[in-house]
Structure 1
Amino acid sequence: MKPRLFSTLRCLQHENPLGLPRTGSIPRMQRGLPERRKIKDVKKVIAVSSAKGGVGKSTIAANLALAFARRGLRSGILDTDIFGPSIPTLLNLSDEPRLSSNNQLLPLSNYGVKSMSMGYLVGDAAPVVWRGLMVMKALQQLLHEVDWGGLDILVLDLPPGTGDTQLTITQQIVLDGAIIVSTPQDIALKDAVKGVNMFKTIKTPILGMIQNMSLFTCPHCHNSTHIFGSHSGVIQACKQHEINFLGDIPLHASICDDADRGKPTVVSEPESDRAKAFMKIAEEVGGKIGLF
């Protein structure tokens, strides 16, 4: 059995959360904002954010990455949620990443998409009991010490909130745009608007908002219900803040089931209306950032 890449002892001794050999130093943060850098061998980078948990952001991020791959792009996804990574489950991956010849992490692949996540390094049940400084160092390594091998687009699955993690990511790398995910209900929209304002403050282009779980259609009686209140909540927020509305994703049991079994909707039901909704959004986003 190959030795684990992650070692708590090495983290504490060398301030190197992922236990990676160093090939070059990451610039220390000077006074003011750090200089934004491109992720090596990646043409375009977009962030998928929600500012609130439980709205389906990770499922949407994974399906968008898969939709880009179905369009023939070299696609990848980086799970930046250190404490609650979802991408290993969504992509049905659990192996440990290996190291490349230049001592960088090699992504794991499934369904034609490359991926990296803290979940690959610490296991499903292991908690990440780290203070802020350790989290920031781990993020720097995930951002700059992964050998993607050449990608057309990398999707960043951001954790909920607008705090240290989000600022570390958005202030250290060049982002081609951000997507905000929300359900139609007011309590989710209030947090989503905080995310919008965060990206505006740090001058990151906002590609638009996605309204998730917008409509439930009963498979038995075929009546439709807006479970989370008004169906136009996100649409109205987009008009108010002068940003683009990217589309609706319905509330459907299959989307959840597909995610739980590690085969997201875009690959498990590619001809369904749900998969087509993801594909349409991916096409619009790709056009906005110059991929199509």
Structure 2
Amino acid sequence: MFKNPFARGNPSRIVSIHSFRGGTGKSNVTANLAATIARQGLRVGIIDTDIQSPGIHILFGLNEDKFKYTLNDYLWGRCPVEKAAYEVTSVLKQNGADAHRDSAIYLIPSSIKVGEISRILREGYNVGRLNEGLKQIVQRLKLDYLMIDTHPGLNEETLLSISISDVMVIIMRPDRQDFQGTAVTVDVARKLSVPKLLITVNKALPEFDFKALKQQVEDTYKTPVAGVLPLCEEMVRLASSDIFCLRYQDHPLTREVNGIATRITQ
């Protein structure tokens, strides 16, 4: 259906972070993975294509009054895509994290204005233009990784994101509804020939047997589980006000995120 514009001669990697249902913690996981990968001295871009319910910008301390342009402006032809990108590398230093001097993080947020969200819901947008924008932002910001925080479920934008991905990370909770929806997503990813498919289980209660849960998910989908992330009080208290892995660098959840980042970059 879609042709991957990044497939030939480009060392940059496209990583889609997806979930079939909302509420899985997808944006939080995306932000933490991006920061973890960037700390290695890599240039990482994040694009919030969850246009109907954007929010990942909050984790990076970006308020809407700081937005001159957003992804919506690019999609409607108001600006070049790089004008909607904001450098947020400073988050790596806020918590005393040990980041490489070449580390960089750029974020392209979506608009949170009611009128612009309503327009997307009413009129949609040109998915082909989004495809071109993804290609341009990788080239113009010289990114090593572009991470796409997708809209939950399956639509035309999601199918585009999946089809051009080098790596797809599916976020699911240990919940029966998530188990069913993840089966659909895995099937679509295989039909679109995603080179690397990984599952991350999020919000697992501490009393669960994580090893058994991981084995259950891998047996169910015949797909590697990159990590099982615990539901923890520290994450709840943080309330999306910071990047967890930078604030709690020695926490078990952070170590698990480090492992998932390694699986992505291998």
Instruction: Bin the TM-score by the shorter chain.
Output: 0.7 to 0.9
Corresponding position of 1:25: none
Gaps of 5+ in 2: 71-78, 92-103
Alpha carbons of structure 1 residues 235 and 56: separation in structure 2 relative to 1, 3 Å: farther
Which structure has the larger Rg? 1
Corresponding position of 2:127: 136
Corresponding position of 1:177: 167
Count of residues in correspondence between the two structures: 238
Corresponding position of 1:14: none
- Partner residue of 1:105 out of 75, 79, 82: 82
C-alpha deviation, 1:155, in angstroms: 1.1
Alpha carbons of structure 1 residues 212 and 200: separation in structure 2 relative to 1, 3 Å: same
- Partner residue of 1:252 out of 229, 232, 236: 232
Higher relative contact order (CA 8 A, sep 6+): 2
Give deviations 1:26-50, integer Å, cap 9, x for gaps: xxxxxxx343212998711111111
C-alpha deviation, 1:232, in angstroms: 4.2
Alpha carbons of structure 1 residues 97 and 233: separation in structure 2 relative to 1, 3 Å: farther
SS class of match (1:280): helix
- Partner residue of 2:180 out of 165, 170, 190: 190
Corresponding position of 2:96: none
Alpha carbons of structure 1 residues 86 and 232: separation in structure 2 relative to 1, 3 Å: farther
Corresponding position of 2:22: 53
Give deviations 1:192-228, integer Å, cap 9, x for gaps: 1111111011111343111111123xxxxxxxx34xx
Corresponding position of 2:5: 37
Once the two structures are superposed, the pairs formed by residues 7-156 of structure 1 within 5 Å of their partners are 33-38=1-6, 43-94=12-63, 95-97=66-68, 103-106=80-83, 107-110=85-88, 111=91, 112-119=104-111, 122-123=112-113, 127-130=117-120, 131=122, 133-134=124-125, 136=127, 139-140=130-131, 142-146=133-137, 148-156=140-148
The amino acid of 2:186's aligned partner reads V
TM-score (norm 2): 0.78
8 Å CA contact 2:14–2:165 kept in 1: the answer is yes
Aligned equivalents of 1:103, 1:134: Cα separation in 2: 16
TM-score (norm 1): 0.71
User: Percent of aligned pairs with the same residue?
Assistant: 21
The reply on whether 1:269 has 2:259 as its aligned counterpart is no
The amino acid of 1:187's aligned partner reads Q
Aligned equivalents of 1:236, 1:182: Cα separation in 2: 13
Q: Which is helix-richer, 1 or 2?
A: 2
8 Å CA contact 1:98–1:105 kept in 2: the answer is no
8 Å CA contact 1:184–1:231 kept in 2: the answer is no
